[in-house]
Amino acid sequence: MSNSPSTLPPAFIYRLAEAADWEQAQQTGFFASADLAAEGFIHASDQEQVLATAARYYAGRQDIVLLQIDENQLRAAGVRVEREWVAARGEAFAHVFGRIPRAVITRAWELMPTVSGNFELPAALS
């Protein structure tokens, strides 16, 4: 018996987003970022990759939002997601090949750096 994407349990991927891009998504109904235009996909992470990505690219920034995306709903909406090897990081990351419909973003958290400039996962993910 196979499950259709709409009946599969949620499988989440995460996007660290600039607050301005998240605000735009709430107005347009779709999340997109500069990497989609520049590289043809939106960078995303599995939960265990979020903090390393935040430290590497967003240390100390106070305008970051963590988006939780239901990957099954994203695929059901016709948006391709591929896990691709990133040699510089030594692991595979989710790449989203298209705009992300707002409806498949299930949660959003503002991420504020600690005094040391690092981030912590929201309590709901710990």
Mean pLDDT of 46-60: 94
* Mean of per-residue pLDDT scores for the chain: 92
Q: What amino acid occupies position 103?
A: A
pTM flag (> 0.75)? yes
pLDDT in tens, 2-35: 455 556 677 999 999 999 999 999 999 999 999 9
Alpha-helical regions (H) of 10-77: 19-28, 34-39, 50-58, 71-76
Distance CA 15, CA 111 (A): 12
Sorted by where each starts, the structural domains of the chain and their CATH numbers stand as: 12-113 (3.20.170.20)
Mean pLDDT of 44-63: 94
| pLDDT for 72 beyond 50 | yes
- Which pLDDT score, from 0 to 100, does residue 1 have? 43
Q: Binning pLDDT at 50, 70 and 90, where does residue 81 land?
A: very high
Residue 22, Cβ neighbours under 10 Å: how many?
Answer: 21
